[in-house]
């Protein structure tokens, strides 16, 4: 698993200075898409507060305290996660009961609520008392991918930290470290910034079939072959059974056209380094490739508007083959 230092070196350095200066706030809201290291940063802060063997102001990650926090066995570091689709009032009330207690071992106490936007209204209102009358020696960290779903009263009482998405090379490097084939690591990193999700996709047979079907379609489009139309029905459609798969296919097609366009201007391979289909696509020239990229992005937008997937892809093929 990637660490906070790897995913967010800038924010880690900032929190290192904040804690060293004893300026840590009592409430934070970590905002960012999945895979940006929000949970890892919350754990890093907890470990920094408890670590018995600090290394240049950072937790060592190896001492007994760091290990207990990493395994979820420190009674002074508590995490609440959604049960199903929501965080219910009872879970927050139980957390508040813990907040009212003294530290079990004489330390600070850290409370983490993951996916805080999934709190029910009752749960969020139940939490407000902490924000209005925070207990000394306690830090509460909420993580969210949807800040706008949190109550304004919660947002106004916590320090909001925005987590930028890691770069494609960063994610690709972590995926390769985890054993993902270099030939698809950058493509996966362009599809998701969540390293765990990227690893899961790499091991997913359906994704492998979708990728191969996309490459087959791209080869036909590169050759101006109208067999691309029946190929959509006979081959591509067989690999897609749900909306996430449909979105993924369109994202692969867009990434391929973006890559081919970059290569047409002499740039190095960025997405699919060993895919001959992309090399063939580059021969269409910048104008057609730019139009194809626009068509792929438009297809993704139409899918979000509930246009049928097969008709959507066929329309994309028509635009590429007609050189519109």
Domain architecture of the chain: domains with CATH: 4-162 (3.40.50.300), 204-321 (1.20.272)
pLDDT in tens, 294-321: 999 999 999 999 999 999 999 999 999 9
For the record, the structure tokens of 317 come out as: 């093929």
Q: What is the pLDDT of residue 58?
A: 94
Q: What is the pTM of this model?
A: 0.75
d(CA 7, CA 36): 7
d(CA 317, CA 204): 26
Evaluate whether 236 touches 214 at the Cβ level (below 8 Å).
yes
Q: Give me the mean pLDDT over the 222-251 stretch.
A: 94
For the record, the structure tokens of 125 come out as: 């209102």
Separation in Å, CA 210 to CA 2, 15, 241: 27, 42, 11
Q: Is the pLDDT of residue 268 over 90?
A: no
Return all residues near 273 (Cβ < 8 A) that are at least 6 apart: 182, 183, 186
Q: Is 148 left (phi over 0), alpha (psi -120 to 50) or beta?
A: alpha
Phi, psi of 162 (to 5 degrees): -90, 130
Q: What band does 137 get if pLDDT is binned at 50, 70 and 90?
A: confident
């Amino acid at each position: 698993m990637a660490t906070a230092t790897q995913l967010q070196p800038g924010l880690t350095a900032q929190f290192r200075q904040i804690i060293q200066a004893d300026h840590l706030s009592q409430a934070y809201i970590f905002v960012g898409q999945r895979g940006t290291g929000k949970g890892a940063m919350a754990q890093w802060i907890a470990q920094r507060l408890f670590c018995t063997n600090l290394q240049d102001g950072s937790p060592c990650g190896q001492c007994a305290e760091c290990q207990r926090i990493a395994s979820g066995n420190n009674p002074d570091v508590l995490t609440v996660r959604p049960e199903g689709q929501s965080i219910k009032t009872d879970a927050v009330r139980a957390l508040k009961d813990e907040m009212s207690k003294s530290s079990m071992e004489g330390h600070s106490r850290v409370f983490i609520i993951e996916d805080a936007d999934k709190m029910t209204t009752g749960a969020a209102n139940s939490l407000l008392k902490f924000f209005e009358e925070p207990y000394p020696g306690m830090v509460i960290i909420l993580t969210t991918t949807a800040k706008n779903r949190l109550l304004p009263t919660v947002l106004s009482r916590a320090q909001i930290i925005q987590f930028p998405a890691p770069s494609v090379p960063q994610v690709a490097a972590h995926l390769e470290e985890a054993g993902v084939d270099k030939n698809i690591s950058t493509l996966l990193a362009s599809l998701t910034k969540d390293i765990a999700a990227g690893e899961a996709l790499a091991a997913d047979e359906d994704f492998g079939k979708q990728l191969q079907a996309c490459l087959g379609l791209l080869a036909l489009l590169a050759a101006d072959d109208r067999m691309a139309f029946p190929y959509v029905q006979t081959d591509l459609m067989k690999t897609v059974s749900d909306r996430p798969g449909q979105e993924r296919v369109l994202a692969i097609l867009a990434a391929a056209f973006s890559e081919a366009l970059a290569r047409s201007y002499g740039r190095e391979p960025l997405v699919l380094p060993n895919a001959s289909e992309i090399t063939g696509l580059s021969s269409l020239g910048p104008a057609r490739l730019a139009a194809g990229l626009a068509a792929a992005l438009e297809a993704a937008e139409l899918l979000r508007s509930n246009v049928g997937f097969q008709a959507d892809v066929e329309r994309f093929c028509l635009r590429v083959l007609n050189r519109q």
